């Protein structure tokens, strides 16, 4: 079992290990005693029995415990569900002393975190991530959000949980492609600031998988990195942009494909193209690019190059930045296991990207 | 013109004076230059021409300026309007650099402040209060909220404006009873921590009215008090409860009367009953009560005693506190122009209140 403390205004712990849910009360009792608890989850998670286990462990230790299970999927991360949960809380007379538990992946985590942040101007919530991505990324950092038809994550808040309980046993029921999507973020962490982890991933005999016994240690490494970045830039005004490595293009690909390209696959292609860009600009040696491509391939993250033109993608990437500024910040590899923020002229970026995107297919064969 | 700075995380100024809107650009240019601006107001305010003046002063100094005018009234402070404004912002591609302006009373201020706090996890907003209550109370302190059917202010956030521009000329169109409601909060400030102001109010030749030339100074005094309390207790965990003087009973009266008793009148009766309670408990001399009653009468704030039983009111006041605790915090006068927080047993409170409420009619004749 690993434990890591996040020293924000109200410090909280992230506990990582196997079968933690069965003993949830051991880690959560201080947050639920004499309190009302509402667990919010979704049907894909629920059907594997995690909700039952969690309830069973907690039910004799809180004032009362209720649950709500939503349908699965990104489409549920919306304002309607925020309102639904809020009305539920108000009807059940939840006060500022009571607590929500988010049991699920990033969708449930973001939805519940945001709702907790606005009910009575903020009540406590606990994250119990059940996807690898939620474990290493969305459950850390305090960003919460929901989507509106105009775009993803356009409405949200900064609101830290009071505890994160990360039970890696829940990953066993994860579809493989969902687990791999999480690995894209893992590779991102290694690329932006962890040469040791990057080396380990490259040299591993077997790619990490949802049964790997060292999952808790790996999650611990990632969470520690994200924590350190977040602590230096809690409200997303600089350094935190490092975490966007691969994401500018990744988001554009997700959006353009109407989310047929998954987040993990989009980010993977983003990292590939931007790493190649760094090679072209002689920021790094070609070998780093070769290793990255190999790594991404092992995790089946490199999908076919889609037929979008570079113009189409640039339009999405620049959004309407051009209206107001001449520059943007890109994240580029700088060394093995290290990225840097580069402020770059919009026109230059456009030219560089065009060239890279056209050649991309060829280079993928490395 | 008065100016006061609130030293929160991102410090901001409150500017108070006459005809400020006509020169709004002078005070707001740094917040609007090269930015998109959305002014949100309501029809009662709009029809007096304040929106036109504000737009006229700002329009050549920002990237572009748009407005939205809602119907007036508390019922507009709801989640539907939050969503409406958010969709408007998203459609118009507002970014984190852009800004909202709340032009109106507490309803518009609370609604716009909350919306600004969650769009893109928080964008800037400016308060331009147009009621006396908004000037001295709701526009200061960073509390924002909207109502749901289950209750008032159940959904919200802490989000400070980047500037408050308080133009006392806008009060001239205020209905007298609305202005008087604001005076109830003024008297509250004087009672809780300002003997000098309380003395001035008592000795004034003419009651303060919406044309009084010393409005800016009075507002300055109140804002300074609220600022000082808020700075010591930004997230409402202690001292800020002083501001609730008269409000426990006030809220119960509002709720029980289905808001036929206004907030100001409810609070006035609340202050009267709780001050009488302090006399009974020999915390203060009877003269303080007499002066308060006189003052409240001058501002037409003492309505008829409604026929609710003390049990009915206690049930609302205690809500379901009894389920979980034996104590509550009350705010009681302690001296002329000074209140204190008293932690008191629920049963004792119930007995004290019962007695006071039964006798209340008699004492009103002071
Ligand atoms: N807040 C942040 O900082 C942050 C960071 C990254 C991503 N996100 C958000 O996270 C979301 C993506 O997270 P995600 O990938 O976890 O999505 P998700 O919650 O939709 O989970 C992915 C899929 O796995 C299923 N699932 C979840 N747990 C399972 C389990 N234990 N067994 C079987 N199936 C399970 C879900 O039903 C879903 O189909 C996005 O909405 C994204 O915006 C937020
Ligand atoms: N955020 C806080 O800290 C805080 C503190 C106190 C009250 N509040 C909230 O403030 C609200 C009450 O504020 P309010 O009394 O300003 O209510 P309001 O905004 O509804 O204004 C009161 C009335 O005056 C009208 N009006 C406003 N400005 C006018 C003008 N210049 N000329 C003519 N008519 C005008 C309005 O249309 C309305 O009918 C409540 O929702 C309350 O919850 C918030
Ligand atoms: Zn990501
Ligand atoms: Zn009030």
C-alpha to C-alpha distances, B33 to A352, B28, B177, nearest whole angstrom: 32, 9, 38
Position B224 scores a pLDDT of 96
Q: Please tell me if residue B316 touches chain A, with a CB cutoff of 8 Å.
A: no
Distance CA B193, CA B359 (A): 27
B273 in Cβ contact with B357 (< 8 Å): yes
Say what the ipTM of the complex is: 0.94
**What percent of chain B lies above the pLDDT cut of 70?**
98
- Where helices occur in chain A by DSSP H, the ranges are 24-32, 43-46, 50-58, 79-91, 106-118, 132-133, 176-193, 195-203, 215-232, 247-256, 263-280, 286-298, 310-318, 346-364
Distance B275 CA to ligand 1 centre (A): 55
- For residue B262 and ligand 2, the question of a CB distance below 6 A is answered with no
A118 vs B91, B118, B324: nearest CB: B118
When the pLDDT of each residue in chain A is averaged and rounded to a whole number, the result is 95
Distance A331 CA to ligand 3 centre (A): 14
Q: Measure the CA angle with vertex A280, ends A278 and A286; round to 5°.
A: 75
The CATH class that applies to domain B2-173 reads: alpha beta
Structure tokens at A160: 């830290």
Distance B29 CA to ligand 2 centre (A): 26
Tell me the per-residue pLDDT of A175-188, one tens digit each, with 9 for 90 and over: 999 999 999 999 99
Cα-to-chain-centroid distance, residue B154: 16
Q: Please tell me if residue A329 touches chain B, with a CB cutoff of 8 Å.
A: no
Position B151 scores a pLDDT of 92
pLDDT > 50? residue B183: yes
Distance CA A92, CA A68 (A): 13
Bridge pairing between strands A143-148 and A124-129:
unpaired
Instruction: Concatenate the DSSP letters of all residues of B227-245 into one string.
Output: HHHHHH-TTSSSGGGGGGT
Of the pLDDT bands very low, low, confident and very high (cuts 50, 70, 90), residue B365 is: very low
C-alpha to C-alpha distances, A193 to A228, A328, B190, nearest whole angstrom: 11, 21, 57
**What chain A residue is nearest to B151 in terms of C-alpha separation?**
A90
Tokens 């101007």 locate to: A121
Q: Where is average pLDDT lowest: A194-208, A314-328, B208-222? A: A314-328
C-alpha to C-alpha distances, A123 to A32, A84, A135, B299, nearest whole angstrom: 12, 16, 22, 39
Summarize the confidence of residues B277-283 as an average pLDDT. 96
End-to-end alpha carbon distance in chain B: 39
Q: Which residues does ligand 1 sit against, CB inside 6 Å?
A: A 42, 44-45, 48, 72, 74, 77, 104-108, 110, 130-131, 133-134, 137-138, 141, 143, 153, 170, 173-174, 178, 181
pLDDT > 70? residue A366: no
Of the pLDDT bands very low, low, confident and very high (cuts 50, 70, 90), residue A117 is: very high
Distance CA A268, CA A247 (A): 9
Say if residue A276 carries a ligand binding annotation. no
B135 in Cβ contact with B2 (< 8 Å): no
Q: Please tell me if residue B238 touches chain A, with a CB cutoff of 8 Å.
A: no
Instruction: Give B-chain residues touching A122 at CB under 8 angstroms.
Output: 157-158
The CATH class that applies to domain B179-203+234-359 reads: mainly alpha
Cross-chain residue pair B154–A320, CB shorter than 8 Å: no
Phi, psi values for residue A39, rounded to 5°: -90, 130
CA dihedral A23, A24, A25, A31 (to 10 degrees): 160
Structure tokens at A241: 């942009």
Say if residue B110 carries a ligand binding annotation. yes
Cross-chain residue pair B91–A150, CB shorter than 8 Å: yes
- For residue B72 and ligand 2, the question of a CB distance below 6 A is answered with yes
Of the pLDDT bands very low, low, confident and very high (cuts 50, 70, 90), residue B236 is: confident
Interface test with A, best of B141, B155, B160 (most A CBs within 10 A): B155
B120 vs A86, A154, A324: nearest CB: A154
**What chain B residue is nearest to A159 in terms of C-alpha separation?**
B121
Q: Where in chain A are all domains bearing CATH 3.40.50.1970? A: 2-173
Distance CA A54, CA A61 (A): 12
- For residue B102 and ligand 2, the question of a CB distance below 6 A is answered with no
B109 in Cβ contact with B41 (< 8 Å): no
Cross-chain residue pair A158–B122, CB shorter than 8 Å: yes
Say if residue B106 carries a ligand binding annotation. yes
Find, among A262, A253, A242, A251, the residue nearest to A131 by Cα: A262
Say if residue B108 carries a ligand binding annotation. yes
Tell me the per-residue pLDDT of B191-206, one tens digit each, with 9 for 90 and over: 999 999 999 999 999 9
- Regarding predicted confidence, which is higher, B258 or A323? B258
Who contacts A257 (Cβ-Cβ below 8 Å, separation ≥6)?
A266, A306
Structure tokens at B121: 């996890």
- For residue B244 and ligand 2, the question of a CB distance below 6 A is answered with no
Say if residue A326 carries a ligand binding annotation. no
Find, among B80, B68, B79, the residue nearest to B104 by Cα: B68
Tell me the per-residue pLDDT of B75-112, one tens digit each, with 9 for 90 and over: 999 999 999 999 999 999 999 999 999 999 999 999 99
B264 in Cβ contact with B180 (< 8 Å): yes
Q: CA of A216, closest CA in chain B: separation in Å?
A: 31
- For residue B133 and ligand 2, the question of a CB distance below 6 A is answered with yes
* A155 beta partners: A146, B119
Q: Is B39 helix (H, G, I), strand (E, B) or coil?
A: strand
Of the pLDDT bands very low, low, confident and very high (cuts 50, 70, 90), residue B143 is: very high
Residue whose CA lies nearest to ligand 1 atom number 1: A138
**What percent of chain A lies above the pLDDT cut of 90?**
92
Of the pLDDT bands very low, low, confident and very high (cuts 50, 70, 90), residue B52 is: very high
Give all strands (DSSP E) within chain B, no chain letters. Answer: 2-6, 12-17, 36-42, 64-70, 99-104, 124-129, 143-148, 151-158, 163-167, 327-335, 338-345
Distance A267 CA to ligand 3 centre (A): 7
Find, among B198, B91, B94, B113, the residue nearest to B159 by Cα: B113
B148 vs A86, A93, A320: nearest CB: A86
Find, among A239, A302, A241, the residue nearest to A276 by Cα: A302
Phi, psi values for residue B102, rounded to 5°: -95, 110
Which chain B residues in 45-64 lie under 8 Å from chain A, judged by CB atoms? Answer: 63
Structure tokens at A343: 């402020």
Phi, psi values for residue B151, rounded to 5°: 165, 165
Q: Please tell me if residue A143 touches chain B, with a CB cutoff of 8 Å.
A: yes
Position A235 scores a pLDDT of 83
Summarize the confidence of residues B157-165 as an average pLDDT. 98
Who contacts A282 (Cβ-Cβ below 8 Å, separation ≥6)?
none
A69 in Cβ contact with A51 (< 8 Å): yes
Tell me the per-residue pLDDT of A296-339, one tens digit each, with 9 for 90 and over: 999 999 988 999 999 999 999 987 666 677 899 999 999 999 99
**What chain B residue is nearest to A152 in terms of C-alpha separation?**
B120
pLDDT > 60? residue B362: no
Position B326 scores a pLDDT of 87
What single-letter DSSP state applies at residue A26? H
Structure tokens at A238: 């600089």
Q: Measured on CA atoms in the order B131, B135, B141, B142, is the torsion positive or negative?
A: positive
Q: Please tell me if residue A118 touches chain B, with a CB cutoff of 8 Å.
A: yes
User: What is the number of the ligand closest to the CA of A152?
Assistant: 1
pLDDT > 60? residue A128: yes
A145 vs B87, B121, B324: nearest CB: B121
pLDDT > 50? residue B366: no
Q: Where in chain B are all domains bearing CATH 1.20.1090.10? A: 179-203+234-359
- A vs B: CB pairs below 8 A: 75
Tell me the per-residue pLDDT of A31-90, one tens digit each, with 9 for 90 and over: 999 999 999 999 999 999 999 999 999 999 999 999 999 999 999 999 999 999 999 999
Position A322 scores a pLDDT of 67
């Amino acid at each position: 079992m690993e434990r890591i403390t996040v020293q924000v205004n109200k410090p909280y712990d992230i506990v990582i290990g196997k079968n933690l849910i069965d003993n949830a009360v051991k880690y959560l009792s201080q947050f639920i005693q004499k309190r009302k608890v509402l667990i919010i989850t979704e049907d894909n998670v629920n059907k594997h029995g995690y909700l039952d286990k969690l309830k069973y462990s907690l039910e004799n230790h809180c004032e009362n415990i209720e649950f709500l299970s939503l349908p699965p999927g990104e489409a549920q991360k919306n304002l309607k569900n925020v309102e639904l949960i809020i009305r539920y809380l108000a009807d059940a007379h939840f006060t500022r002393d009571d607590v929500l538990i988010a049991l699920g992946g990033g969708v449930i985590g973001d939805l519940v975190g945001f709702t907790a942040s606005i009910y009575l101007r903020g009540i406590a919530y606990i994250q119990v991530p059940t996807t690898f991505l939620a474990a290493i990324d969305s459950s850390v950092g305090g960003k919460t959000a929901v989507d509106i038809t105009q775009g993803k994550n356009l409405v949200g808040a900064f609101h830290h949980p009071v505890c994160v309980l990360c039970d890696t046993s829940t990953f066993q029921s994860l579809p493989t492609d969902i687990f791999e999507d999480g690995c894209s973020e893992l590779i991102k962490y290694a690329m932006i600031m962890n040469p040791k982890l990057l080396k380990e991933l490259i040299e591993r005999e077997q790619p990490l998988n949802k049964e790997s016994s060292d999952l808790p240690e790996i999650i611990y490494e990632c969470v520690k990195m994200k924590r350190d970045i977040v602590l230096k830039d809690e409200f997303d005004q600089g350094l935190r942009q490092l975490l966007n490595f691969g994401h500018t293009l990744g988001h554009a690909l997700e959006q353009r494909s109407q989310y047929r390209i998954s987040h993990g696959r989009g980010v993977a292609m983003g990292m590939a193209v931007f790493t190649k860009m760094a090679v072209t600009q002689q920021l790094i040696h070609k070998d780093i690019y070769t290793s990255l491509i190999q790594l991404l391939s092992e995790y089946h993250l490199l999908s076919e190059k889609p037929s979008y033109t570079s113009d189409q993608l640039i339009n999405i990437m620049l959004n309407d930045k051009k209206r107001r500024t001449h520059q943007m910040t890109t994240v580029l590899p700088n060394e093995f296991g290290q990225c840097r923020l580069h402020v770059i002229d919009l026109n230059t970026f456009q030219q560089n990207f065009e060239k890279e995107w056209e050649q991309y297919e060829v280079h993928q064969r490395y």
